[in-house]
Amino acid sequence: MGVFEKPFILEGNPVSSTTSIGISMYPDDGNSIDELMKKADIAMYDAKGAGRNVYQFYNAEINERTMKRQKMESFLRQSVGRGELHLVFQPLVSSDTLEVVGAEALLRWRHPEQGLLQPDQFLAVAEDTGVIVPIGEWVIRNACDHAREWNDKGYPVSVTVNLSNRQFHHPGLIGKTAKILAETGLKPQQLKFEVSENTIMDNIDFSYRNVNELAEMGVTLAIDNFGSGASSLQWITKMPISKIKIDRSFIRNMPADFGDMAVINAVVAMSHNLKMKVVANGIETEKQLAIAQRSGCDEVQGFLISGPLLSEEFERFLARA
């Protein structure tokens, strides 16, 4: 694993790789090559689920965990066709006026056996297996449909969709997005994508091209949970990024933690100098809202404003705002 981890040169560029290793032992785990290979494969599947650069020995617990994971993958692959997915929308408001300026689309899955699941209960499986790509396309299309309906009713708000690492780096993202916008009739300027710092940094050259192609189309990009990853400010300043969304961990400790407040003030100053807006995410108290406003955050989001709402609930929220 250490050897594979060392970068190698491909067409003049350094490339890093990671490995996942599954191990089965003779005779404890089987007496035939086929049986040992099958169990080593199960152990490798579990190692991949634990992250990268992981090795795992086969055991009964892993077998049970892998079977559950594979069952969830099977259900996920059928979720779109079965109509089990739906979106909820968390309002995004102007810091000064508290006027609604947009909504973040959040995915929910009504599992046929387990009931309503939150994203953290299934997105890792979707990402690891690639199922996230068709599911992500469904999310973009449905978010655009809802936003166009709100616009048709006189509510000109934008909609934001989170992209995972695999979605953002998928070669079909640009074409699919253009096709969905054309078919739904939503203006490109009203669709926003959010990605994490680590997603941007995973492949800088590709990210640079992707962000610029999206910007040329009219779709803008926000960096989600800024401050939680390992982004390079040098690269971010060279990309047409429209927003920085401050990681909620900095918001959570306000106003008690002066260090976090200093970070927020620094992020706001830097972002405004680069013509980027700043979103304070995770606002739960009036004090946090007041500090976000004083710090110069442009937009705020959190349970103080509203939790995630079904589409019809979001429409009523817009009507009251």
pLDDT digits (tens, 9 = 90+) for 234-285: 777 889 999 999 888 888 776 666 777 888 888 899 999 999 999 999 999 9
All CATH 3.20.20.450 domain ranges of the chain, comma separated, are 77-320
Terminal Cα distance for the chain, rounded: 56
CATH class of the domain defined by 77-320: alpha beta
pLDDT of residue 233: 66
C-alpha span between 302 and 186 (Å, rounded): 26
List Cα–Cα distances, 126 to 176, 303, 317, in angstroms: 19, 27, 31
pTM of the model: 0.83
pLDDT of residue 223: 93
Name the pLDDT band for 232 (thresholds 50, 70, 90): low
Q: Which of 167, 171, 172 is nearest to 193 (CA)?
A: 167
Overall size of the chain counted in residues: 321
E strands of 84-208, at which residues?
Answer: 85-94, 100-111, 115-117, 158-162, 191-196
